[in-house]
Amino acid sequence: MITQVNSKRNEVFVDESRIETSKRPWFGQLPEALPAQYSFAVMGDRCGMMTPGVFEQGLELLKDLNPEFVLFVGDLVEGYWKDADKAREEWEYIDAQIEATGLPFFQTIGNHDFGTQAMVDVWRERKGHEYYAFRAGDQLFLTLNTEDPFEEMPDEMIELIKRSTEKVHADPEHTMEYMKEFYEEITKGLTPEQLQSMGKVGIGISAEQLAFFEKVLEDNKDVKHTFVSMHKPGWKADSAEFARLEAILQDREHTVFAGHFHTLEYTADANRTYIQLGRTGAGAHGIGRADDNLILWVTVNEDRVSYRVIHLDGVSDVMAYPPQLHHQD
C-alpha cells in the first residue's frame, strides 16, 4: 500500500506493505508550494573513511545558500557495527547536525548505513522506511535502496575496514596512503579473475521495492522530470531490476544520482542523465578535481534542469582575508 503523507501537490509516498511505522528517513517538510524556478542540493558520501568536519562544513554552506531541500546519496555513517549502541551513537551525532540546519533533507541508504544486521535494525528503529518517493511540483523523486536485501561482509573484512578507518580518523592528512594500504591488503593473494570481479557493482532491489516505484511512476505520469537517488550506480551493475526501472523511465526526462565511488562523473544521453556524485567528507579515491569534496547544485525551471558543482575546498569564510598594505604603482 502506498501512503500519501501530504495531500497537497507536494507529496511524499511510502510503502506500508512492508513496514508500518511513523518513523521517516528524512528531516523537515517539503515546501507547500514551489516557485517556477527552484534549486535543491545533492550531497555525496560522508563516509567511509571520512575526514571529520567536511560534511559539517557542507551543511553550514547549505544553510546560507538555502536550497528548497537536500538529497543525500548514502553512507552517512561509517557503520558496519555489530553493536547496536555503537550504531545509535553514530546516528545520534550526524542526525543532530542535519536537523539543526532546518533544511528538508532526504536520505538514501548506503552500504555503510546498512552493512550488518545491527545496522539494518537500527535504521528501521530510527528511520523506518528503506525507500520512498516524493513529488515536488512537476518533478518526481525516487529514493531507492540498493542494499535490498543487504549482504553482510565476513568479519575479517569488517575488522580490516574498522582498522583502516581508525587510521584515517586519527591522521586524515595521510588518507591516500591508508587507502592504498587498505586496497593492497584486501587484494593480496587474489587471482586475476577475482580482482576483475571486485570491479563489478553488485546491487539489490527487491521485487516489492520495484513494484512500489512502478506504481508511483504510473500514478505520476504527468511530471516533467523524474530524479532517482540511489547509493550504488545501477547503470554500472548487471541488474535486471534496474534495467526494468530504466525501461519504465525511457520515455521520461530523468536523472539518476548515485554515490559509492567518491568520484564525480557526468553522462548524458538523449533524455537520460547519470551523475555519480563525488564525496562530501568521505575518503578520496583519487587525486583529480573529480575527487574533491563537493556539493551538486541543481536548478529546475519549467523548461530545463541545470547542474553546477560547488567545490568545498575552494569555499572560505571571508574572515580568512584580513587587510593588507597595498602599494600604489
| pTM of the model as a whole | 0.93
- pLDDT, residue 232, reads 98
- Do 299 and 36 meet the contact criterion of CB atoms below 8 Å apart? no
- Do 90 and 77 meet the contact criterion of CB atoms below 8 Å apart? yes
- Which of 20 and 80 is assigned the larger pLDDT? 80
- pLDDT, residue 194, reads 67
Given a cut of 50, whether residue 7 has pLDDT beyond it is no
Q: At 55, which helix (H) or strand (E)?
A: helix 54-65
- pLDDT, residue 199, reads 67
- pLDDT, residue 19, reads 85
> How do the domains of the chain map onto residue ranges?
2-315
Give me the mean pLDDT over the 250-266 stretch: 97
Sign of dihedral through CA atoms 62, 140, 14, 274?
negative
Question: Any idea which of 36-45, 99-108, 187-196, 253-262 has the lowest mean pLDDT?
Answer: 187-196
Given a cut of 50, whether residue 138 has pLDDT beyond it is yes
Q: What mean pLDDT value characterizes the chain?
A: 93
Residue 237 has phi, psi (to 5 degrees) of: -110, 155
Please determine, looking at this structure, whether the domain spanning 2-315 carries the CATH number 2.40.110.10.
Answer: no
Rounded Cα distance between 58 and 310, Å, is 10
- pLDDT, residue 303, reads 79
pLDDT digits (tens, 9 = 90+) for 140-155: 999 999 999 988 889 9
State the cell numbers at 250. Answer: 525511457
Rounded Cα distance between 264 and 292, Å, is 8
pLDDT digits (tens, 9 = 90+) for 225-247: 999 999 999 999 999 999 999 99
User: Strand, helix or coil at 126?
Assistant: helix
pLDDT digits (tens, 9 = 90+) for 42-90: 999 999 999 999 999 999 999 999 999 999 999 999 999 999 999 999 9
How far separated are the first and last CA of the chain, in Å rounded? 74
Rounded Cα distance between 294 and 276, Å, is 12
Given a cut of 80, whether residue 6 has pLDDT beyond it is no
Rounded Cα distance between 123 and 88, Å, is 9
- pLDDT, residue 189, reads 72
Using alpha carbons only, what angle is made at residue 139 by residues 138 and 140, rounded to the nearest 5 degrees?
Answer: 130
Distances from the Cα of 197 to the Cα of 147, 186, 194, 203, angstroms:
18, 13, 5, 14
pLDDT digits (tens, 9 = 90+) for 296-318: 999 999 879 999 999 999 888 88
User: Strand, helix or coil at 264?
Assistant: coil
Rounded Cα distance between 237 and 243, Å, is 9
